[in-house]
């Protein structure tokens, strides 16, 4: 990845443009399940048959796995494209975050020749005090 600030900013702009162009998306994973319908005359009841294919999207909702089945191949294909767009969005966001972190490290710091004012120090102490109250894992 390039190291100059202007190149990284151009990369960030490109990533943001790609994010803007993301289509419909939904979280999940595409899967195919096999089931037997239970009709005695159906081919799925024959020995060695895997059963009927059922196309699904799996996802988590509040720690529970939820599956959604689709009655037509077109509906499943549309949902699969939406899941693909979601995964693309996740990749773009991860890349955007990495580029933005590098930009933050490279951006020059605007220095204040007078240093911290007493008001700024007081605000920071209050901020960290509140932060300590909200997080059990905050290093004291």
Output helix, strand, coil percentages for the chain, rounded to the nearest 5.
Answer: 50, 15, 35
Q: Which residue has the higher pLDDT, 133 or 41?
A: 41
DSSP for 86-117? HHHHHHHHHHHHHHHHHHHHHSPP---TT---
Does the pLDDT value for residue 100 go beyond 70?
Answer: yes
Does the pLDDT value for residue 140 go beyond 50?
Answer: no
- Distance between alpha carbon 3 and the CA centroid of its chain, in Å? 26
Q: Which residues contact 94 (CB under 8 A, 6 or more apart)?
A: none
pTM (predicted TM-score): 0.68
- Measured in residues, the chain has a length of 140
Residue 128 pLDDT grade (very low, low, confident, very high; cuts 50, 70, 90): confident
Helix (H, G, I), strand (E, B) or coil at 115: coil
Residues 91-98, mean pLDDT to the nearest whole number:
97
Range of the domain at 64: 5-109
Q: What is the mean pLDDT of the chain?
A: 87
Residue 123 falls within a domain, yes or no? Answer: no
Residues 58-65, mean pLDDT to the nearest whole number:
89
Q: In which element (H, E) is residue 32 found?
A: strand 29-35
Residue 130 falls within a domain, yes or no? Answer: no
Residue 11 falls within a domain, yes or no? Answer: yes
Domain tally for the chain?
A: 1
- Write the burial class of residue 23 (CB in 10 Å: 0-12 exposed, 13-18 middle, 19+ buried): exposed
Question: What is the Cα Rg of the chain in Å?
Answer: 26
Residue 41 falls within a domain, yes or no? Answer: yes
- Dihedral-angle region of residue 55 (phi above 0 means left; psi in -120 to 50 means alpha; beta otherwise): beta
Structure confidence at residue 43 (pLDDT): 85
Residue 135 falls within a domain, yes or no? Answer: no
* pLDDT (tens digit per residue) in 6-40: 999 999 999 999 999 999 999 999 888 888 887 88
Residues 68-97, mean pLDDT to the nearest whole number:
93
Structure confidence at residue 1 (pLDDT): 47
Does the pLDDT value for residue 92 go beyond 90?
Answer: yes
């Amino acid at each position: 990845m390039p190291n100059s600030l202007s190149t990284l900013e151009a990369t960030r702009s490109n990533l943001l443009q790609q994010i803007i162009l993301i289509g419909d998306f939904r979280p999940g994973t595409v899967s195919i399940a096999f089931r037997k319908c239970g009709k005695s005359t159906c081919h799925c009841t024959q020995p060695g048959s895997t059963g009927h294919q059922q196309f699904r999207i799996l996802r988590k909702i509040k720690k529970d796995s939820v599956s959604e089945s689709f009655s037509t191949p077109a509906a499943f294909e549309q949902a699969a494209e939406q899941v693909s767009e979601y995964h693309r969005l996740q990749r773009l966001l991860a890349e955007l975050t990495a580029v933005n972190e590098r930009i933050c490290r490279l951006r020059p710091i605007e220095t204040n020749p007078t240093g911290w004012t007493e008001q700024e120090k007081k605000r920071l102490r209050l901020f960290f005090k509140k932060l300590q109250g909200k997080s059990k894992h905050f290093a004291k």
